[in-house]
Amino acid sequence: MNKKGQFGLIVFFLILFTILIVGFIAAMSMGIIDYASDTLLPVMQQVGVDSGDANLSSAMNYTFGVVDTTVQAMPWVIGFAYIMMLIFSLVFIKVYNDNPHPAFMGLFIMLAFLLILGSIIMSNMYQDIYSGSDEIATRLQEQTLLSYSILYSPVILGLIAFIAGIIMFAMGSENGGSL
């Protein structure tokens, strides 16, 4: 018996939950790296002149200045990559090219419920850190695209699961699925 559709359900929800966790970790990591970069850059730019003729402040400005510019642009790149991963998770459904039996709709609804519950937990953890007044919270508030995506992840992931359910179950008969 063909069990490809049932496996695809589980893998799809694992992909979505992994994207959520990776986005959370990436946002927190970028906040910490941004804070470290903003702390190190002024110190490195004031190193001064070496005992010889080498101006270390100028050399540090070329190295750490470029790194700081890259770090300041990374939240938008990571936010865009997070959104693209969510969009391309729907492509997984079409590429997998097999539809589950309608009897597995209950499994799909249960996995969607667990995904939304997990994204609520992750969103609440992120909001607790985001709404603080410390340096990391300030850095997270500067990451508008990624922060918005993580804070509203229950709605976004619920919508993606709803669309995926339509693609999987409603389009099965016209694509020659296993109905």
pLDDT for 81 equals 92
- Within a domain: residue 47? no
* Locus of tokens 């850059």: 41
Residue 140 has pLDDT above 60, yes or no: yes
Per-residue pLDDT tens digits for 157-170: 999 999 988 888 77
- Within a domain: residue 39? no
Per-residue pLDDT tens digits for 58-115: 667 777 777 778 888 888 999 999 999 998 888 887 777 666 777 788 888 999 999 9
Task: Give Cα separations from 77 to 7, 146, 170 (angstroms).
Answer: 32, 9, 35
Report pTM. Answer: 0.79
- Within a domain: residue 24? yes
- Within a domain: residue 82? yes
Task: Calculate the CA 69 to chain-centre distance.
Answer: 22
Of 95, 85, 99, the C-alpha closest to 166 is 99
- Within a domain: residue 86? yes
Q: Which structural domain range is residue 88 located in?
A: 4-31+74-170
Percentage above 70 pLDDT, the chain: 80
Number of domains the chain contains: 1
- Within a domain: residue 59? no
- Within a domain: residue 69? no
Q: In the predicted model, what is the mean pLDDT of the chain?
A: 82
- Within a domain: residue 128? yes
Using the CB atoms, write b or e for 86-102: b if 16+ within 10 Å. beebeeebeebebbbbb
Paired strand residues for 55 = 49
